[in-house]
Structure formats: C-alpha cells, structure tokens
Amino acid sequence: MKKKIFENIKTIIYALLIALIIRSFLFQPFYIPSSSMEPNLLIGDRLFVSKYSYGYSRHSLPFSPGTSNKRFFDKKPKRGDVIVFKTPADNKTDYIKRLIGMPGDIIQIVNAELYLNKKKIKRNKLDIKIEINCGSEILNLNLFEEELPNGVKYLAVYRNNDTMQQTDEFIVPKNHYFFMGDNRDCSKDSRFLGSVGYVNFNNFVGKAEIIFFSNDKKKGNFFKFWRWYKSIRTDRFFNKIK
C-alpha cells in the first residue's frame, strides 16, 4: 500500500515538473481579458504564447523570480509581432499588444494617423460593419487595414470622431520597444508613459501564436461547459495570430 502511494506521488511530481518545463520554456496559455486588441483578439480568446521566440528572461519562469536581469538565447522581435510582456510599472502584470516601434524609432499620431519615423503608416479603410467594445461601451468607429514598413498587415480600429488627434513624438530608447493595442482608442499601451510606456526587452514573455479556444462571456461562462453550445466561437479555434 505504501509503495503504491509513493509511486502515485512520484507520478504527480513528474507530471508537475513536465508541465513546469513546458510552461517555462515552450508554450504558455493566456486569456484575453479586455477589448484592447479587438478586432483581432476578442475577450474570451485563449491562446498559446511561445516562450522561446525571443529567448528567456526571469519573466519566462513562474512568479518572475529575481534571479537575473539578463536575457538568454535572445532573438530580436519583428515589427508587428503580437507579444505578451510584463508591464514596466510593476513587472508582474501581463499585457498583450502589437509591437510598433523598435529601439531608436520615432512614433507620433498626427491628425489621427499613425506616423513611424516621420512617414505615415499605410492604411486602407474597409467598408465593413463591425461591433467593437470598450468595456461596456460599444464604439462608433472606422476599420482600417494597416501595413507596417516590413509588410506586416493587420486590422486596426479608430473612433469616428478621432479622439486621439495629435501626440508628441515618442522616441524609443535603446533596448526598449513601443507597443499599441489594435483597438486604438481603448488601449492602455506605450502611449501612456506613466503606466506602461516603453517596454524593456527583458520584460518580454513570449509571442502570441495561436488561439486554441474562444468563448463569449456574455453568453456563458468557460467553466459552465453545459452552456458552451451558446458561447463557444468555434470559428476562432486554431486561428493563427497575425
């Protein structure tokens, strides 16, 4: 009897160790709690983030132990990547945004249009009706397909009344990056220097890769599986994140 209990404990320990290794060095699941990345990521999306995409830092490990301020086996990100990072304000909270500015870049919004290094980002207005949220508010907005200088295309939305008309220039410091949410008027991101600001490379957790599950919280809770038929969005399963 004792031997059987011991074997069961060993099995559990091995399983936990394997799960810890996968979570720390390969893939980690994340949940989308806000509308800041709509229309590309919706509240209720569950996705896998690759931990190896940019190498490893202390934030690759659970609870971000203060063992080192270095990054190991680092690989540089690409402009347009959707990335999970720890906010500089507390080094604990996970945010997910799109990488817009690289070290040394100049970012500015002029007349409600995004400029990168003094050049306007290409964008094409789409005549598509789409419902976008900001908390409990449904936004009146314009939908665009934007294209970054490296050819990455994605959807972005702006309010019809262009609430963010002008900004100062944001000059990205060395070893830091500038992030924005695709839901431009409902995203706390690098434009807000006091709360998010420029993100150090060591704060990167990983690259958002694929949606593996999605459910609409308004129609049913994830844990109430008997109501999944009303809330799950099967059309989003296994969608690659762009």
What residues are labeled active site? 36, 97
E strands of 87-223, at which residues? 94-101, 106-110, 113-116, 119-120, 122-126, 132-134, 137-139, 141-147, 153-159, 170-171, 176-180, 199-200, 204-214
H/E stretch holding 240 reads strand 239-240
99 contacts 40 by C-beta, under 8 angstroms: no
Residue that is written with structure tokens 């490379």 in the block:
201
Residue that is written with structure tokens 């449904």 in the block:
138
103 contacts 201 by C-beta, under 8 angstroms: no
142 contacts 157 by C-beta, under 8 angstroms: yes
71/201 Cα distance (integer angstroms)? 8
Q: What's the farthest any 2 CA atoms get from each other in the chain? A: 75
Q: Report the residue count for the chain.
A: 242
Residue that is written with structure tokens 């306007």 in the block:
120
CA atoms within 13 A on the CB side of 167: 20
